[in-house]
Chain A
């Protein structure tokens, strides 16, 4: 009887390990449409997911950054401004954890959009990056036309920024995880260290996803 129990336990443990070994898949967020096409005489139904539209900004080095620059990259996006007195320091204290974990990972980037481009010029963004201890090309701080940034924030499923007399701007503290197909795969509260460590775990899952590894 005892031997049977031990054997059962071993089998159970083994299968539990196998279950854990299965690669988890991240959900895909946003609107989706099903498109029915006829190809080679067969009717095929395909799901079309919401994606991040084309954009063009300038990073802290003065380089032009567009949606094309990010082809082949998994990236995390957020919205901030350098003189933000409220949530931004917390967000970027937490984002530093993401940066430090993945700064040597190819195919990965962080894009922080300033929502105050009038103040946050390219040299100022460079100064901010330097002070934050960010070097190289893993984490870009980008600026462009204010309307473009505000409009783009909507496609990241973020509450668009609002101008406020007291705080300057009220904005959403989310970190968004975007895959190589430019689909939103996760949204995290950038002010909460627990959610940011979930983001770090999810980036690892997404990097290991065969569908992502195959996509150039």
Chain B
């Protein structure tokens, strides 16, 4: 008898917590965890486990200011690659990032992960934001 009351209380507690999470938070959590898997398979070799990059060869992903300023262009960079001079984390880079086969919702997921890892806290990147960004690619 006592046990069933405790279980009942616990269950109702869980329901309360879950229902308190807004849709946005759920979407964020889903994007973030799928994004992490994508990051590990498509980005980590070069940018590193902790987004640290590689010396002056590969830029780190820890520069929140750069990420914020280029928020709209990030989808283009991931999808089509990036070439030319960059100033990231007070360092100059002049390499080339290859294009990737990450598309659609995956871009939103991987960008949500990057924008909220390695010390960045820039919030969710939605597919709508990605699509708007992709329309402005050079």
Contacts and interface: CB of A to CB of B under 8 A. Distances in A.
Which of B46, B55, B56, B57 lies at the interface centre, i.e. has the most chain A CB atoms within 10 A of its CB?
A: B57
A85 B55 contact: no
B55 to A, nearest CB: 5
Say what secondary structure dominates the interface of chain A.
helix
Interface in A55-102: 83, 85-87, 89-90, 92-93, 96
B9 interface: no
Contact of A131 (B45, B46, B57, B98): B57
Given A85-B46, A86-B45, A87-B45, A93 B98 contact: no
A133 interface: yes
A69 B57 CA distance: 29
Contacts of B48: 93
Nearest to A130: B56
A93 B96 CA distance: 18
Interface in A83-131: 83, 85-87, 89-90, 92-93, 96, 128, 130-131
Contact of A93 (B54, B56, B95): B54
B58 interface: yes
Contacts of A131: 55-57, 95
Which of A128, A131, A132, A133 lies at the interface centre, i.e. has the most chain B CB atoms within 10 A of its CB?
A: A131
Contact of B98 (A85, A90, A92, A132): A85
Nearest to B56: A131
B56 A90 contact: no
A89 B54 contact: yes
Contacts of B46: 85, 89
A90 B45 contact: yes
Interface in B82-138: 95-96, 98
B47 to A, nearest CB: 8
Nearest to B100: A85
Nearest to A88: B45
A92 B54 contact: yes
Contact of B57 (A86, A87, A132): A132
B11 to A, nearest CB: 43
B55 A96 contact: yes
Nearest to A191: B45
Nearest to B52: A93
Nearest to A87: B45
Sorted nearest first, the 10 A-B pairs with minimum C-beta distance are: A131-B56, A89-B46, A131-B57, A133-B55, A85-B98, A132-B55, A90-B45, A89-B54, A93-B54, A89-B45
Interface of B: 45-46, 48, 54-58, 95-96, 98
11 contacts: A83-B96, A85-B46, A86-B45, A87-B45, A89-B45, A89-B46, A89-B57, A93-B48, A131-B95, A132-B54, A132-B55
Given A83-B96, A96-B55, A133-B56, 12 more contacts: A85-B98, A89-B46, A92-B54, A93-B48, A128-B57, A130-B56, A131-B55, A131-B56, A131-B57, A132-B54, A132-B55, A133-B55
